[in-house]
Structure 1
Amino acid sequence: MEAKRGVRLISALIWLAVMALAACYLALTLPQKQLSSNILELLPSEGEAQISSSYADTQKDRLIFLIKSDEKQAEDFFTRLSKEKFFSQVRGKVPQAEQDEFARFWFQYRLAFVPESVIKLMKTGDRYVRSIQSMLYSPYGAPRADEMKRDPLLLARRSAVGNAGDLPSFHDGWIVIRHEGVEYRLVSAELKSPLSYDELSDAVKTLTSLCQASEAANPGMRVLMTGIPLFSASAADSTRKDIAFLGSISVAALIVFLFIAFRSLKPLFLCLISVACGVAGGLSVSLLVFSELHAVTLVMCLSLIGIATDYTTYYAAARMRAPVGESAWNTLAQLRPSLLHALLTTSITYGCILISPLPVLRQLAVFAVCGLICSCITVFVWQPFFLQNFRGRPSFVETITAKYFGLFEKSSKTALILLAVLIVFCAVGLYQVKADDSLTNLQSLNTELLKTQKEVEKISGQDFSSPRLLVKAKDDEALLVQLEKLRAQTANESGAAELRSMLPPLNSVSRQNETEALAQALYPKLEAFYQEVGLKGVEKPHYEKLTLKGFLSSAVGSGYKDLYLRKDGYSYFVLPMPKDKAFEEKLKELNIDYSKFDRRKDMETVLQVYREDLLYILLFTFALIVLTFAFKFGLAAVLGAGVSLMLSAAAGIAALGFANMSLNIFSLLALILILGIGIDYQVFFRQLSAYRKESYFALFVAAVSTILSLGILVFCSTSAVSNFGLVLSVGVLTAFLTAPIGRNK
């Protein structure tokens, strides 16, 4: 006996050390971990979708400011932005030195920027020479003598003029956008990456205050700010509030209910310890497995609160009415098979989610399985010490529970009536429910931020959410050839203005070689002309070639850098897709290797496919649970359990119809968990015959505690979590109500 007591004490101390280690790990690492909140990051990226994801990654830390103000006000705002430590780069007014470098680079590689119209003119020979002559005698901006000496064909001037419509408009060093007679100065900034949730939240608050203070101090000044970080911070703030508020409400409701049920604080205290250990263990393992966690994962994991309390509830209920003289360890020994079976089935249901391609579901599975195991171990090694002398006082909850289950003891009509009501409920609800995989049904974006983004898009002429054109080539040179075709095709198309503005002015090296040959052929004619007019010292032109990588690394091409990707042996360039449907036919005629991607719509298609795949996971989980149940209780018991599980799943989906919500992948995820929780109720209802009345009471307390923790998710601001919580809470309630159906008398 003493040896057993020593082993039990050592086990308890070892588990205490493990939990203390987990708590220390969380305290050290959790503040440093990044909390993802972009709903698109819930989704997998494969194939060319991975390319679009890589492009999206280049935009996730960028903020855009449009400033309507005078020169001094804009400079003051830009200076204050540049001093913020959370930025890695702020670009606004271009310093004079950088402008000079821009001009030097353009002149040095002028051959690379010669537009198609100038090349065509060069091919005419004498007409090009005459155009130079007319420029020389033009009263408007005639070239200087030193310019003609260094660049006799005036290719730098021709290139600048020919590309003027497609290059940013500069005014006093600022990129200026004119809209409806108003000038806006453009400032772009890159946040340091990665920023923790707190750092991102503080950065957004600081910037919002800066914009508001600048507008208040300068009447007439207006600052528009948009970017993915703003939406991420808004979603993360909303999630944190949900976790704090809904978690507090859930815990408070559980505290009140458990105290009413047991009329003692001890089970309540033990439930909180069990949940705390489950959360610490699940979160620690999740942080070890995943580089970052998604906010939606944490909110959905609130469901663990109700499930983790079940083990303590069953044990405390059994100890309430245990025979005098029976030790807490003996009671636990009788409960252990049922508790382990319940842990196994619930872990199986969560474990099946691991094969899901969605990262957020895999995170949830790891968190839940590890958390439930830790909660169960806590019950086994710690709680017998606390429940040795526990004797609960009679509670009206026991009376209500006994009366409800007593109805099934007296007559089978109760079961038939319940079945009829549930079938009608399911039929009406299922008739109304519809499947919809739209991302707007998963997460609602901040309306004020959306309004500002739409205004910035209108002013800048760019649609940040429009589909994208992904041009693909085997190498950079082939990619430039493809882009040349696009530049020529869109030269006179008004509907492709946004695309044309994003095309780099760079020619392919082969085009540069062709242009150089034309220039060398024209030079003798121009040299003779310059001699005639008395211009001496004209240099024979020497041209340098420019590659795509060289262009992107320069001040001239830095703005195009994020549009270029090199991956898996191919070069890609991302461009906005014109809305004209006929444009795609033109691309095919040009023999351009391209693909069209709309990340939002593509992900909605992916969600639909995975929702359909999840149905197979659901069927597999159901079959696995039924097999384990049949192995334990026999085939006869499977029929009643199967009816209960199917009704529970149907009722959960039917609730969506009554709530005017759509069926999506998170609804099916909830169904998988309903199967696991529902089979737990079947196990406890059938196996704990030695504690028949106490098992009724324990089943009721477990169901209500689970529903309290799950039902609160319905009020979450994230639509996907609200959907998940509604299906799960209604399904669990139905699983409890139908637990007595088909049982052996």
Structure 2
Amino acid sequence: MQVQQSQVAKPAWGMRVGWLLLALVATLYCVWRFAGPSPLQTNLLALLPATEADPVAEKAVDTLATALGDRTVFLVTSHDAAHAKAAAKQLGATLSASGAFGSVTAELPPFDVSKIAGLYMPYRFGLLAPADRAALADGTLSLHDTLARRLYSPLHGGLATQLADDPFGWLEHWLAGLPLATSNLEVEDGLLVAHRGNAASVLVMATLPGSAYESKVQHAVHEAVAHGEGALRQNFPDVTLARTGAVFYAEAARAASEREVHLIGIASLCGIALLMLWVFRSPRLILLGFVSTALGIVCALAATMLIFGKLHLLTLVFGASLIGEAVDYSIQYFVVYLGAGRDWDAQRGVRAVRPALMVALTTSLLGYAILTWVPFPALKQIACFAIVGICTAFASVMWLLPALLVRAPKRSPQRVFAGAARLLGAWRMVIGGRRAWGVAALLLILAVPGWLRLTSDDDIHLLIQRDPVLLAQEQKVRDAVGFDNSTQFFVVRGETPEIVLERAEALGAKLDGLTGAARLSSWQSITSFVPSAKRQDEDRTLLGQRVFNDPSALRGTLVQAGFRDEVADGWLAAYAKSDHSVLSIDSWLAAPWSQPFRHLWLGRVDAASTSGGYAAVVIPQGVTPANQPALIATAHTLPGVTFVDKAASVSTLFGAYRVDSGIWLAGALLCVLLLMMARYRPLGGIVVTLPVLLAVGVTLAVFGYAGVPLNLFNWLALMLVLGVGANYAVFLREGAARADADLGAVWTGVLLSAATTLLSFGLLAMSAMPALRSFGATLGTGIAVSVLLAPIGMPSQRRRAA
């Protein structure tokens, strides 16, 4: 006897050591990843798929997101302008001293604005403002009157030019059209100030030392801003502070997700532990169940980070809810263990539970595998996480738990099992046998009106919901600055930079021509800073025809107006030398002051793209639902121009995949039906599949009656209802097929499995993320109906007795 026990102990200890090593490796890898730069992906845009027709548009989306992502803006407001300015200076000093930012700008540094005019001076004869160009073209321009206005009514602006270099003021007029100050801000005392009513707002700008989506950066910024706000409240109680920037949204999303992970994880663990303790009355079984679940979770974490590099917040929150499903396998094993009593044999227990768990695993994997086909990065991660987690949990039940549960149980909850058996018998009398078909018909009749009331909503905000407090503060900043940070823009492409500039100019002309409701407030384009070579040549030719066609007369006009001979001769000579002088994009990009606008030029892109190797963006301001159709139509009329609306593209994709998901669900149902028919013969397969089929139909009807629009995530959750909900009928069917099985114990295990799954997945319905709320509500409803109807799949009493 001792020899036999030692022979059993050796493989048992070997199995324990093997699983211990796996757990250590997975845990150490997770600790190592979280000890360094955070692997959490807090960039909500990273959840979105590539939706545009070509990669150039996606590059434009990424470029604009990066250009705006590292900027942080603070708005200090007070009814006392002096207080607002003093508070802004204090805030700037506090933030700068914190070391959390790469740079902080409250007071504008000295800048020689003549450098801007200096860049354009060599090319001034090819740069005409629209009004000057029109006046020269139609011959209404009087050189004498223009020169007189320039001499006696000079413009005293920051971008003024010298009379000797620009006697008629044409370059000065062109410089005045640069979109350098297209906002409500004015420079006062070295600060950027906006006045609205009797309130004064001062802008403080900062850049980040790293990515806005790094946890280390977020923590540092959070502490610095909290310290700055506290100092303002103490010294300037009348001042309010608004802030905006990607780092604040990312930090808020991360904090909200961490709260949900803790809530769902702790609530699931406590709830499942209490349920298992109530049923099994064994702390040891609870511990072993959580060991199996913990192995699944830690291996899923390690595999997901190893494969994807980053861990989406959505995946992390969903992973916390996977506890309820992963523990199902161990629960089924514990039911067999307790039901065996003194006759317990670990390997015999594995053989008894293996068929049901194999079918259950297959149906669950089918549901999650479908998620891998959807092009949403977060859903692929969720599928990977779930597949690794439940496979690991299944494997641990098959090989680890038998090595840990060698001795027979000391006691069995027979009273609970007996009560469950009575409940199952009574419920089977209501819905089982031939009555199942009547129940199915009744449920379908009740469901049809709900189906007819179903609607859909594919809004992108179902996936991303930004913090409302931050949104309100962002709107305050926008209102003060007068800038509409639109997510809609045009991408202009061409084979060469020149073609891109010409097409962007054609687009600008079209946008300027929009009238009525289609009119824009303004637009930003690279061509506002760098006209095309063709435009520069046309302007120079126009000057040659209208102004420099008679050099001696022009010289006389200048001398008569008071210009010295050498100044007049120098200006004429400069025109003669400018024959081949063309301002290029590279020259503009090399100027330091162009940095805030460089995102308008994408530069060289994929040469294999259908629209050419270079691209730029044109950003319209004041886009509304009324003028958006006109903008889209404008893009269609011009070659190489595409209107990009990331939110609308994702919403359209949501809708397309929502429709496709109905087909996927039907195909998955067919696969499950065929699997069940192969396992339980045709009629048996139909009745085992019937509960989950009815659960899907009833869940859809509930949403219809409740008036809740369906989205892609409802349909994807129905895939999981199919994968998880089919397990309960399988567990009952397999339990009824075992001659020595206690149906009360089997039904107890099914109810406990459903309760743990409902507890964990149901908590998702309380998530702040709309996508997870849809998941949770759908899963909770579907799983509840599945377990209630699961006895339909049991064989009749006569067949079981036979």
Q: TM-score, normalised by structure 1?
A: 0.90
Give 3-state SS (helix, strand or coil) of 1:301's partner. helix
Residue of 141, 159, 168 corresponding to 2:174: 159
1:87 matched residue in structure 2: 101
Q: Displacement, 1:480?
A: 2.1
1:133 matched residue in structure 2: 147
Distance in 2 between residues matched to 1:257 and 1:612, nearest whole Å: 39
1:189 matched residue in structure 2: 206
Q: Which one is further off, 34-43 or 584-593?
A: 584-593
Checking the alignment, whether the CA contact within 8 Å between 1:63 and 1:225 is kept in structure 2 is: yes
Distance in 2 between residues matched to 1:589 and 1:294, nearest whole Å: 36
Q: Displacement, 1:593?
A: 4.4
Give 3-state SS (helix, strand or coil) of 2:723's partner. helix
After superposition, give the CA deviation of every residue in 1:618-676 in whole Å (9 maximum; x if it has no partner): 12222222222222221121111221121111233334345553211111111111111
Distance in 1 between residues matched to 2:636 and 2:555, nearest whole Å: 42
Matched to 1:728, the amino acid is L
Residue of 717, 737, 742 corresponding to 2:768: 717
Checking the alignment, whether the CA contact within 8 Å between 1:278 and 1:308 is kept in structure 2 is: yes
2:474 matched residue in structure 1: 453
5+ residue gaps in structure 2? 607-612, 797-802
Q: Which one is further off, 69-78 or 631-640?
A: 69-78
After superposition, give the CA deviation of every residue in 1:483-505 in whole Å (9 maximum; x if it has no partner): 33454556687942332699734
| 1:23 has 2:37 as partner | no
1:574 matched residue in structure 2: 618
Against the structure 1 CA distance between its residues 146 and 249, is the aligned structure 2 distance closer, same or farther, given a 3 Å change threshold? closer
Checking the alignment, whether the CA contact within 8 Å between 2:654 and 2:712 is kept in structure 1 is: yes
Q: Which one is further off, 170-179 or 674-683?
A: 170-179
Q: Displacement, 1:704?
A: 1.5
2:73 matched residue in structure 1: 64
After superposition, give the CA deviation of every residue in 1:156-206 in whole Å (9 maximum; x if it has no partner): 433334548965666255555454476544444333215433542542353
Checking the alignment, whether the CA contact within 8 Å between 1:443 and 1:718 is kept in structure 2 is: yes
Against the structure 1 CA distance between its residues 37 and 404, is the aligned structure 2 distance closer, same or farther, given a 3 Å change threshold? farther
Checking the alignment, whether the CA contact within 8 Å between 1:502 and 1:575 is kept in structure 2 is: no
5+ residue gaps in structure 1? none
Matched to 1:28, the amino acid is W
Checking the alignment, whether the CA contact within 8 Å between 1:114 and 1:507 is kept in structure 2 is: no
Paired residues for 1:173-252 under 5 Å: 174-180=191-197, 184-191=201-208, 192-193=210-211, 195-197=213-215, 199-211=217-229, 213-214=231-232, 216-218=234-236, 220-252=238-270
Q: Which one is further off, 673-682 or 306-315?
A: 673-682
Q: CA RMSD in A?
A: 3.5
Q: Which one is further off, 361-370 or 39-48?
A: 39-48
Q: Which one is further off, 263-272 or 735-744?
A: 735-744
Against the structure 1 CA distance between its residues 613 and 33, is the aligned structure 2 distance closer, same or farther, given a 3 Å change threshold? farther
| 1:171 has 2:187 as partner | yes
Checking the alignment, whether the CA contact within 8 Å between 2:308 and 2:381 is kept in structure 1 is: yes
Q: Displacement, 1:59?
A: 2.8
Matched to 1:547, the amino acid is S
Q: Which one is further off, 306-315 or 211-220?
A: 211-220
2:587 matched residue in structure 1: 550
Residue of 515, 522, 535 corresponding to 1:498: 522
Against the structure 1 CA distance between its residues 444 and 120, is the aligned structure 2 distance closer, same or farther, given a 3 Å change threshold? closer
Q: Which one is further off, 23-32 or 543-552?
A: 543-552
Q: Displacement, 1:679?
A: 2.5
After superposition, give the CA deviation of every residue in 1:347-393 in whole Å (9 maximum; x if it has no partner): 22212221111212111110001011111222233322332222443
Residue of 379, 385, 394 corresponding to 1:376: 394
Residue of 102, 119, 135 corresponding to 2:116: 102
Distance in 2 between residues matched to 1:719 and 1:641, nearest whole Å: 33
Checking the alignment, whether the CA contact within 8 Å between 1:177 and 1:460 is kept in structure 2 is: yes
Give 3-state SS (helix, strand or coil) of 1:96's partner. coil
2:712 matched residue in structure 1: 665
Checking the alignment, whether the CA contact within 8 Å between 2:511 and 2:520 is kept in structure 1 is: yes
Distance in 1 between residues matched to 2:707 and 2:240, nearest whole Å: 41
Residue of 261, 265, 279 corresponding to 2:297: 279
Q: TM-score, normalised by structure 2?
A: 0.84
2:419 matched residue in structure 1: 400
Q: Which one is further off, 534-543 or 628-637?
A: 534-543
1:735 matched residue in structure 2: 786
Matched to 1:576, the amino acid is P
Paired residues for 1:255-266 under 5 Å: 255-266=273-284
Matched to 1:398, the amino acid is F
Q: Which one is further off, 185-194 or 614-623?
A: 185-194
Checking the alignment, whether the CA contact within 8 Å between 2:525 and 2:619 is kept in structure 1 is: no
Residue of 40, 45, 53 corresponding to 1:35: 40
Matched-pair identity in %: 23
Matched to 2:742, the amino acid is R
Q: Displacement, 1:609?
A: 0.4
Distance in 1 between residues matched to 2:525 and 2:354, nearest whole Å: 69
Against the structure 1 CA distance between its residues 87 and 610, is the aligned structure 2 distance closer, same or farther, given a 3 Å change threshold? farther
Checking the alignment, whether the CA contact within 8 Å between 1:685 and 1:739 is kept in structure 2 is: yes
| 1:640 has 2:707 as partner | no
Give 3-state SS (helix, strand or coil) of 1:171's partner. strand
After superposition, give the CA deviation of every residue in 1:379-429 in whole Å (9 maximum; x if it has no partner): 233322332222443265423321122125657487578657755664565
Matched to 2:282, the amino acid is S
Checking the alignment, whether the CA contact within 8 Å between 2:242 and 2:477 is kept in structure 1 is: yes
Matched to 2:25, the amino acid is L
Distance in 2 between residues matched to 1:415 and 1:142, nearest whole Å: 89
Give 3-state SS (helix, strand or coil) of 2:206's partner. strand
1:535 matched residue in structure 2: 564
2:722 matched residue in structure 1: 675
Q: Which one is further off, 264-273 or 67-76?
A: 67-76
Against the structure 1 CA distance between its residues 147 and 697, is the aligned structure 2 distance closer, same or farther, given a 3 Å change threshold? closer
Aligned residues: 745
Q: Which one is further off, 568-577 or 542-551?
A: 542-551
